A and B are shown apart, each in its own frame.
Chain A
Amino acid sequence: MSKMDVTRRGVLKTGAVAGGGLMLPTYLRAAGHEGFTNAPTGSTVTLGFNVPQTGPYADEGADELRAYELAVEHLNGGGDGGMLPTFSSKALEGNGILGKKVEYVTGDTQTKSDAARASAKSMIEKDGAVMITGGSSSGVAIAVQGLCQEAGVIFMAGLTHSNDTTGKDKKANGFRHFFNGYMSGAALAPVLADVYGNDRKAYHLTADYTWGWTQQESIAAATEALGWETVNNVLTPLAATDFSSYIAPVLNSGADVLVLNHYGGNMVNSLTNAVQFGLRDKTINNKNFEIVVPLFSRLMARGAGENIKGILGSTNWHWSLQDEGSKAFVKSFGTKYGFPPSQAAHTCYVQTILYADAVARAGSFNPCAVAEALEGFEFDGLGNGPTLYRAEDHQCFKDVLVVRGKENPTSEFDLLEVVQVTPRAQVEYAPDHPMFAGGALGTCNPGA
C-alpha cells in the first residue's frame, strides 16, 4: 500500500497551475496548438477584412466589404457561387475552407497606417483571424503587411498600386493580386505614343508619398523610352485640395501633356482644376494639350464627373470585360447589390478566393504552407486571363487594362471604356528590376 503525501499547500499549488492553464485565453492556446498563429480548432475559421470604413476612401472600403461578404457566401456554398465555377482550380467545394465554415471580422483602416495596424492587430489577437486582407492605400498596405509578417499570418493585399508593396517592402507573408505602377507605365505608354505621338513633353504632378513616387518613376521611364521628354515633376502635398497654383504654370512650361500621378480626392480635384483652366482646349507645340491619369478608379471617376471624358489611364479590372469569370462575378455582385463591382471589389473578392484555394490545396491553414501553395501558382478564370503569383516577390502577373473616360456614358457606372487589354508579357519585369530593388522577401513566419 503506497503512502500518499497530500498536503494543503501542494493541493493549492497544483490547483493554481491547472486553473491558470485552463484560464489561458482561447486564442493563445489556439496559437500554440498547431504551431502557427490562430490555428482554427473548432468548426469555423475567421478571416479579417481590414478596409477603410471611415475617412476619404470609405466608399471604396464599402465596396471592398461587399465583395468580401460575397466571397464568404460563395465559399460557404451560398448564392450562385460567383467565380468558383469559372476558377481553374477546383480545390474549393463550397463547404467553407477545409470543411470549416468561414466567418469574418472587420476592421477600419481609416486610411491611416497606425489605425490600420491597430485594427489588424486586434483582429489577429482578439478575434483569432488567420488571414488579414484589404486596404485602399499603399501606405496602409505596407504597414499592415509588416505587421502580418511579425504576427505570423498571411496578408492578402487589397487595392495597393505602389511598386514598393512587392518591391523594397515585400514580405514573405504578403501577397498582392492588384497590379502596380510599373505595369501601368508598361501598359499605358505604348497607347499614349500611339494616340498622342512620340514627340511629346510631359509635366508630372505627383502625390508626395510612396505610391506617387513609384507611379511617377514608372510612367516617366516608360514614356521616355518611347521618345517623350519629362519637362518637370512637381510633388504635391497629399493633403492638398486646390491644385490651381500647381496647374497654372503648366502651360508656360513648354509641356503639351499633363500627367496626374494622383489618386482619390487628389485626382478628382487636380483633374477638375486642370479642366477648369481650359488645358484640354489649348494647343501647345502645334499639338492638342492632353491630360493623362495613370491609375483610374471608377469610384473616383464619378467624383470627377464630365472631366474624365476622353482621358486615358489604366485599371486592374473593369466590369465590362466579357470573359466568363468577369461575367459571373458581375452577375453575382450586381444581383446582390444592384450595381456593378469596382476594381477594388474585384481584387478583394479574388484575393479571398485565392487564399481559400491555397489553404485547400495545401491542406493546412499554416501560413507557410499557404504561402508555398500560392508561390508560383498559375490560374485562370478570375477575370484577368491566365495569371501567375510569382514566387520571387508575391506579385500577380496578368493582363492590364488601358481605359478611357467614356464620352457618352449610359449610366452613372458606365464611365470607362476599355481601349486595350495589354498582354501579361508586356508588363512583366525581372524580380531584381531596379524599381523594385532594396528589399528582401525574407522567410515565411508561421508565428506562435
Chain B
Amino acid sequence: MDAILLQILNGLDKGSAYALIALGLTLIFGTLGVVNFAHGALFMIGAFCAVTLQRILNLSYEVVDATQTDFLGNPLKVKVPYVEAWFGPEMGGSIIDWSVPLAILFAIPVMIFVGFAMERGLIKHFYKRPHADQILVTFGLAIVLQEVVKYFYGANPIPTGAPEAFRGSFDFGVLLGFDPNAIIYPYWRLIYFGFAAVIIGGVFSFLQFTTFGMVVRAGMADRETVGLLGINIDKRFTFMFGLAAAVAGLAGVMYAPINSPNYHMGMDFLVLSFVVVVVGGMGSLPGAVAAGFLLGILESFASMNEIKSIIPGIDQIIIYVVAIIILLTRPRGLMGRKGVMED
C-alpha cells in the first residue's frame, strides 16, 4: 500500500510537468491550429530564465585573498556577489537563495515576448500550410533554440537549487500511520504540484470566467463566425500563444531545482507531452491535463521493481503502450472532440 501511494505521489510532479506543457500545446493547437513542436524548447527556455537570474544575482567582483592560492599558485581571487555587498551577506545571500521563485517574475515578460516573437516572426506564416510543414518548422526551431542555449550555457547541466527552506522531504508515512521513511516526498516537488494546480486552475478560470476567455473559446469552436461578428480573433489567438509560452516557461522555471537544467531538457519532455495531448484528445484542455497526470502516474508505477521484474523495460514504453490502447479504443483520445484533425 505504501509503495502504491509513493508512486502516485511520484507521478504527480512528473504529471504536473506533462500537464503544463500539454496544456500549452493544446491551447496553441486549439486556437491557432498549429502543432507546435517548439513547445518543449519554451519549457527549456523557462528553466534557463531561472539559470540566468541566478547568474545575474551572482554577478561578482573579485577580492584578492593573499592567504590562499589558486591552482597556479597565485593569490586567490575570491568572488563577492554585488548583491551581498549592497544588502549585506545575510540579506544578499537570501536573495540569491530565492533566485528560483524570483525567476517567476523575470520569466513571465521574457516568455510572453518569446512567444509573441515566435508567433509573429515565424509560425504565423505557416497557419495555412499542412500540419506536416508546421511540425517540421517548429521542430527545426526547437533544435535552433536548444543549440543557441548550448552555445551560451554549455552542454552540462547547471545546478539551480531550491531555497534552503524547501530542501529536504516530508514524511507522509508517519502522517498516514505507516513506518517512518515509508513514504517520503521532497518539499519542492510538493510545491511544484501545488504550483501546477494553481496555473492550470488560473488558465481554466481565465478561459471560463472572463469575456476575453469566452471569445477565445468561441473562436476555438467556430473561428469564422466569431470573425464575422467583428471580433479580431487573430489578435486574441496571438495573445493565447504568448500565454501558452508563459505557462510552459513557468513550468520550466519551477522545474529547474528538480533536475538541473540542460539544453536538451525540452526535447526530453516534448515527445511525451505530445503523446499526452493525443491521449487527452487533440484540442481538449481538460483532456490534456487529465492525460498528463494519468501518464505521469503510470510511468511512475512502471518503474517499480515488482512490475519491471514481470515485464522488463516496461518503464521505457509504458506511455506509448497506454497511448496505443487508448487510441485503439477511443480514437479521439480521452476527451477529444469530433472534427478535430479529422478533415
Contacts and interface: CB of A to CB of B under 8 A. Distances in A.
B181 A276 contact: no
B273 interface: no
B6 interface: yes
A179 B14 CA distance: 37
B264 A251 contact: no
Nearest to A303: B157
A249 B168 CA distance: 16
Interface in B147-201: 150, 154-159, 161, 167-169, 179, 181-182, 184-186, 188-189
Interface stretch (B69-77, B119-127, B204-212, B241-249): B69-77
B156 A302 contact: yes
Interface in A264-320: 265, 268-269, 272-273, 275-278, 281-282, 284, 299-300, 302-307, 319-320
Interface in A166-198: none
B151 to A, nearest CB: 10
A272 B155 CA distance: 17
Given A248-B184, A251-B181, A276-B189, A330 B3 contact: no
Interface centre among A248, A340, A414 (most CB of B within 10 A): A248
B28 interface: no
Contact of A273 (B11, B76, B259, B308): B259
Contacts of A245: 7, 10-11, 14, 299-300, 303-304, 315
B157 A269 contact: yes
A307 B159 CA distance: 9
Contact of B161 (A242, A252, A303, A305): A305
Contacts, number: 134
B14 A242 contact: yes
Contact of B258 (A242, A305, A319, A411): A242
Nearest to A56: B155
A49 to B, nearest CB: 18
A248 B156 contact: no
A6 B165 CA distance: 97
A304 B262 CA distance: 12
A275 B159 CA distance: 13
A278 B7 contact: no
Given A269-B259, A273-B259, A284-B181, A299 B156 contact: yes
A278 B169 contact: yes
Interface string B251-290: 0000001111010110010000000000000000000000
Interface residues of B, number: 50
Interface string B71-110: 1100010100000000000000000000000000000000
Given A249-B6, A273-B259, A244 B14 contact: yes
A410 B259 contact: no
Nearest to A278: B169
A272 B159 contact: yes
A389 interface: no
B305 interface: yes
Given A59-B155, A246-B303, A252-B182, A241 B265 contact: yes
Nearest to A238: B316
Given A242-B14, A265-B262, A278-B168, A59 B70 contact: no
A109 B259 CA distance: 26
Given A245-B304, A278-B186, A305 B260 contact: yes
A411 B167 CA distance: 24
A320 B170 CA distance: 39
B184 A278 contact: yes
Nearest to A248: B6
Contacts of B169: 276-278
Interface in B298-325: 299-300, 303-305, 308, 315-316
A116 to B, nearest CB: 16
B10 A272 contact: no
A87 interface: no
Interface in B4-31: 6-7, 9-11, 13-14
B2 interface: yes
A340 B71 CA distance: 7
Contacts of B150: 58
A252 B2 contact: yes
A331 B73 CA distance: 9
A342 to B, nearest CB: 11
A55 B2 CA distance: 39
A263 interface: no
Given A58-B150, A252-B181, A303 B156 contact: yes
A320 B73 CA distance: 11
Nearest to A334: B72
A304 B155 contact: no
A57 interface: yes
Contacts of A268: 156-157, 159, 260
B159 A306 contact: yes
Nearest to A341: B71
Contacts of B13: 244
A303 B7 contact: no
Nearest to B3: A249
B10 A248 contact: yes
B232 interface: no
A14 to B, nearest CB: 55
A276 B265 contact: no
A173 to B, nearest CB: 30
Contacts of A272: 159, 258-260
A232 interface: yes
A410 B65 CA distance: 11
Nearest to A251: B181
Given A251-B184, A302-B156, A330 B71 contact: yes
A59 B169 CA distance: 33
Interface in A17-71: 54-59
B68 interface: yes
Interface in B109-134: none
20 contacts: A57-B155, A58-B154, A59-B156, A234-B305, A244-B14, A244-B186, A245-B7, A245-B304, A252-B2, A252-B3, A252-B181, A272-B258, A272-B259, A275-B167, A276-B257, A278-B186, A303-B156, A303-B159, A410-B70, A411-B70
Interface of B: 2-3, 6-7, 9-11, 13-14, 68, 70-72, 76, 78, 150, 154-159, 161, 167-169, 179, 181-182, 184-186, 188-189, 257-260, 262, 264-265, 268, 299-300, 303-305, 308, 315-316
Given A241-B265, A281-B168, 6 more contacts: A239-B316, A245-B315, A268-B157, A306-B159, A306-B161, A334-B71
**Top 4 closest pairs, chain A to chain B, by CB:** A305-B159, A58-B155, A278-B169, A303-B157
